[in-house]
Homo-oligomer: A and B are copies of this chain.
Amino acid sequence: MPDLQINQMLDMQERGLHYGDGLFETLLKVNADIPLWSNHYHRLQRGCKKLCISLPDEKWLLDKIEAETSGYDSAVVKLIVTRGIGGRGLEMPTVNQASVFVLRYPYTAIDHTELELDVAICQTRLAINPNLAGIKHLNRLDYVLAAIELAEIGNKNEAILRDTDGYIVEGIVSNLFFCLRGEVYTPSLEFAGVEGIMRQQILKYLEDQAIHINIGRFNCDLLLSASECFLCNSVHGVRPVRCAWLSRRPPAIRTLRATASRHSIDR
């Protein structure tokens, strides 16, 4: 495998900077373990395949993460893998040598069964891009603009994003589930959005429980008719949405949410 560079200052010719030519994973380290590591690694694998980037060896990556977080019982870890250095213009580098960066941030556990999120509906739209949808690549300007919009709105914890066709996709840093007339819905990520690890876990849980889930392109009106809504990601698990439009919470979904939450923080 190629000789990877790690944890150094970045080279000015780094393609991650020039083109956003890479992928990332945001991991939670808790009790010296990385919950759902295999899922994160497999998503990285899918992303590398789509972008034709040489995937670093799993064991090698885990060692690097361990080295960066040793002595920390818990941490948020951002792992970035890019195509590497150079060349001029969009020419591919002559040496196929991925760059790997491991960044450590403090983790503060949140009792998410208590914290309800107040969310906005964002005006900023996500581009429709079937080529890149699902993978966690570094081209995140849509999300940066949405975060700016969210900060300008003020007093909201998250925002729901729609694609340029007007269909709801996800939150800025989370995936979206909602419930309507006793059925569970989550937007398709075929055209935009990130296929979250926690979303995968919830889908698996629903399947195991033989609970039907509607995955598709839903417009905002449907979401605004929802009786319950929650957002999820790998770091904060599952968090309920509190909104004027949500009048009641069916017990079935509350149970689902709590179970999915346990599923995330117990691992």
Contacts and interface: CB of A to CB of B under 8 A. Distances in A.
Interface stretch (A27-35, A120-128, A179-187): A120-128
Interface residues of A, number: 54
Nearest to A76: B88
A21 B90 contact: no
B147 A91 contact: yes
A142 B129 CA distance: 9
A9 interface: yes
Interface stretch (A130-138, A208-216, A241-249): A130-138
Interface stretch (A10-18, A56-64, A199-207, A219-227): A10-18
A103 interface: yes
B10 A147 contact: no
Say how many copies of this protein the assembly contains: 2
Given A12-B9, A12-B103, A20 B141 contact: yes
A151 interface: yes
Contacts of A143: 19, 90
A110 interface: no
Contacts of A147: 90-92
Interface in A135-168: 137-145, 147-148, 151, 164
Contacts of A13: 103
A56 to B, nearest CB: 17
Kindly name the residue among A14, A20, A82 whose own CB sees the greatest number of chain B CB atoms within 10 A: A20
